[in-house]
Copies of this chain bind each other. A is one copy, B any other.
Amino acid sequence: MAEKTIIIGGGVGPMAGVALHQKIIENTITDGRDQTHLSVFHFSRSADVPDRTEYLLGKQTQNPAFGMAQLFAAAWDSLRRVAGEAEIEAIGGIPCNTFHAPQIYTVFLEQLSLRGIRIPVLHMLQETMDYLDQVVPGVMEVGVLSTTGTRLTGLYAQLLEGRGKTILQVPDSDQGALQEAIYHPQWGIKAVSPALPQARQRVLLMAHSLVDRGAQAIILGCTELPLALSESQFMDIPIVDPVVALARSLIRRAAPDKLKRL
């Protein structure tokens, strides 16, 4: 079977796309030469993909689904050029948790279908559930740090509870402070790369509170968070990065023999 081209629907945020791209490279088995790496086409056009949390909160009227569908249309055209339409084999992923809110994600998938863009797209949060079972099997109390938008959708709660697990989140009264660590225009993770100590400290404080309350693993449920908390363990608790889960699932679907062992 031919290897599939991996499509990154990026720009959400831009650095999360870069992190996904890097994790794909790091998790691919090669013979050491460039030529045995997988093909990755990475599209980042943030100006046309409004903020996902703002859309869910009603502060932004344009659904980010449309801008992202347009990027996949661009990807489709580029795939046609390198492969010819009959031979297009691709698999896509979008490194933004909040984008997977049903109000956005289902509209996005409808748009792909309506426009004849036959690129299957992996659902990052579902892939994260499978990854969680691989890396920390049997864990029951799972902490999740996320944007306010992702939290409002209840997606992680639903997915974890569907697998018989309990979700732990920061108290309602702290969610605003977590959102600020991601979004603050001067010192937030989206604003400054690499992440500033102030943003990192805020994220560590939140992770600490989840561990105190009994979390046995913590999902970084916003793709900006690993930019501030890149360790694989925190206070002896495993940190689960959905971007790594997505990277590994993309490789598995693109070329199963090239996925590195955990």
Contacts and interface: CB of A to CB of B under 8 A. Distances in A.
Contacts of A44: 21, 37, 39-42
A114 interface: no
A26 interface: yes
A183 B191 CA distance: 36
A13 interface: yes
A28 to B, nearest CB: 9
Contact of A32 (B42, B70, B82, B185): B185
Interface in A11-67: 11-15, 17-18, 21-22, 25-26, 30-37, 39-51
Contact of A33 (B35, B45, B51, B80): B51
Interface string A177-203: 000000111101011111000000000
Interface stretch (A71-79, A162-170, A241-249): A71-79
Interface of A: 5, 10-15, 17-18, 21-22, 25-26, 30-37, 39-51, 70-71, 73-82, 183-186, 188, 190-194
